[in-house]
Structure 1
C-alpha cells in the first residue's frame, strides 16, 4: 500500500475538498484523485460516494479513516526516528512572524539558551503561511504563528496579547473616565492593521458607533504606529506586549475601554506531530516559564 495514497485520503477528509487537499500537498487535483482511486483499488472498495463535484465518505471509508491516520502517524514517527537516531540535537530552527520576532523571541531565547547552552539557534521571520510551509518541509523545527489548522501540525500552546487603546501622555483621555468607543470615534486614529482576524473585532465595534471613527493614518508597521501616537498625531489600538517599553518610559499611556473586553492577538506554538520529543519538551518548558496556555488535546 502506497503511503502517498493514504496521505491524499487523509488530506481530502481533513479539508473536505479535493482541490484544497491538492494545494496542501502541492499536487494537481487530478493527481489527488488518481491517488484516491489507486487506494480504492488496493482496498478493493469505494471510499467516497461521488455526485458531480460533491462527495461523501462511504461506510467503508468511515471505517478505514482512523486506521489510515494511525498508519501515517506510525510511518512518520518511524521515519523521524531513523533520521535522528544517534544524532545530537545541536541546532534549533525557529520560524516566527514579525511581531513575534520583535517582541516575544527576545524574551524566550535567553531562557532557552540558559536551559541548553550548547544549542545553536537559527531564526527565520516570515508570514504565518510561509512559516507553515517551512514547517511542513522540515526547514524549521518549530513555529510561532497565528492560529493554523493542519493534519500534520500540532499546536503546543498559545499566548494572548491583550489589545488596548494607547494615547500620548498629555492626551485628555489620560484624566477622563469612564470612556466609551463613541469617545474614541471623535479622535484622530492611527490604525495599525496587521492582517489578523482579531482586528476584525475592532472593525465590528466601529460599525456599532453613532458615526465612524476618524482614521487619519492606516499603518501596517507597528513601530511607525507607536511613533505617530507618541508624537501626538493620534491615538491607537495596539498589542500590549509590543508597547511595554514605551509605556515604561512614559511615551505612551494605556487607556481602559470596557467595550474592548477580551480582545487580543493570539500567538500559537506549532511543530510537526512527528517532531522529536526533545523539541516539544523544550518548548513545553517555555510554556510553563512564560505562562503560555497549553492547548488541550
Structure 2
C-alpha cells in the first residue's frame, strides 16, 4: 500500500476537511481527493462518507485510522533512526504549549534554541494544556510544555520543569485587599474569575475549596491567564493567579488555607521514539538560563 495514500487519509481524518488537509500536505484539493479514491479502490471499501459539505468516517475508515497512524509513526521512526546517525540536529519539531507558558516561560529558551539549532524547523502551537496533552496521547504532537495534569493519562510521561505557586489576587481597591487575614469564606462572598471548568487549574482550585464546603460565585471563566489578570486588575473579581503575574495593579491576598501550586513541564508519549530535535529541546529546557533562579 502506498504510504502517501495513508498519509492523505490520516490528514483528512484529523483535519475533518479535504481542503484543510490539502493545505497541510501542500497539495491541491483534487490531488488529495485522488489519493483517497485510490486508497478506497485499493481497500475495496469507502473510508469517508460525503454528507453535504462535511465528511464522516465510514466503519472501514474508523477501523483503518488507528492502524494507519501506527504505520506512519513506525515509518517516521525508521527515518529518524537513519537520519539521526550523523549530521547536525535538524528536521521538524512541533511543540504544543499554553499561552501563559509561551509568554512567560519559553521566550528566552526559544531564543537560545533557535541560535543553537538553526537547522531544526520549530513549530510552536498555542493550545490549552488539556488539548496539548490529548494531542500527545493521540500521537498528533511529539511534545507539549504545559501545566501538568493532576492524573496523567495512560502512555503519557510527564516531567516537572517549573514549580508554579498560585496566589489569591485582587485589584488594590477590591474589598478583599483591605482585609488583614481573609478566610476562604471571605473569598466566597465576592465574584471570582477562574479558568474554565475541566481545566487542570480550575480543578486544583475547586479541590482546595471543597473541604470548606463553599460555593464560589464565578462571574467569568476563560482559559487565558493574561485575560484573567486583566479582568482582576480592573476590579471585575478576584482570582488565583501564578505569582509570576504579580504587579503594581494587583494585590496579593494571603490566605494560608489556599497555598496552591501547579507544576509546569514536559509531556511526552512513553512509546514514541524521540527525535534528536526533541531530545535537544528537552535538554535545553532542563538547563537553567544564566542568572536565573529555580522557581
> Above 0.5 in TM-score?
yes
Task: Determine the structure 2 residue equivalent to 1:257.
Answer: 255
Displacement after TM superposition at 1:166 (Å): 0.6
> TM-score, structure 2 length as denominator?
0.59
What secondary structure is seen at the aligned counterpart in 2 of 1:289?
A: coil
Task: Determine the structure 1 residue equivalent to 2:165.
Answer: 162
Task: Determine the structure 2 residue equivalent to 1:101.
Answer: 102
CA–CA separation in structure 2 for the residues paired with 1:271 and 1:279: 10
Q: Closer, same or farther in 2 for the Cα pair 1:133/1:190, shift >3 Å?
A: closer
Displacement after TM superposition at 1:211 (Å): 5.3
CA–CA separation in structure 2 for the residues paired with 1:109 and 1:80: 23
CA deviation string 1:244-268 (max 9, x = no partner) = 4xx1xx111222211112x223333
Q: Is the 8 A contact 1:198 1:264 kept in 2?
A: no
Q: Closer, same or farther in 2 for the Cα pair 1:89/1:140, shift >3 Å?
A: farther
CA deviation string 1:63-116 (max 9, x = no partner) = xxxxxxxxxxx9997663125444643344322233333333324312323433
Task: Determine the structure 2 residue equivalent to 1:212.
Answer: 215
Task: Determine the structure 2 residue equivalent to 1:171.
Answer: 174
What secondary structure is seen at the aligned counterpart in 2 of 1:228?
A: helix
How many residue pairs align between the two structures?
Answer: 219
Q: Closer, same or farther in 2 for the Cα pair 1:239/1:83, shift >3 Å?
A: same
Displacement after TM superposition at 1:227 (Å): 2.0
Task: Determine the structure 2 residue equivalent to 1:270.
Answer: 267
Q: Is the 8 A contact 1:96 1:127 kept in 2?
A: yes
Task: Determine the structure 1 residue equivalent to 2:47.
Answer: none
| Structure 2 stretches lacking a partner, 5+ long | 1-60, 68-73
Q: Is the 8 A contact 1:192 1:237 kept in 2?
A: no
Displacement after TM superposition at 1:144 (Å): 1.4
Task: Determine the structure 1 residue equivalent to 2:81.
Answer: 81
Q: Is the 8 A contact 1:158 1:266 kept in 2?
A: yes
What secondary structure is seen at the aligned counterpart in 2 of 1:286?
A: helix
> TM-score, structure 1 length as denominator?
0.58
Q: Closer, same or farther in 2 for the Cα pair 1:136/1:84, shift >3 Å?
A: farther
Which of 210, 215, 238 matches 1:235?
A: 238
Q: Is the 8 A contact 1:180 1:257 kept in 2?
A: yes
RMSD: 3.8
- 1:9-158 matched pairs, under 5 angstroms: 28=63, 80-86=80-86, 88-91=88-91, 92-117=93-118, 119-128=120-129, 130-132=131-133, 135=136, 140-145=141-146, 146-147=148-149, 148-151=152-155, 154-158=157-161
1:289 paired with 2:288, answer: yes
| Structure 1 stretches lacking a partner, 5+ long | 1-25, 33-73
Q: Is the 8 A contact 2:167 2:242 kept in 1?
A: yes
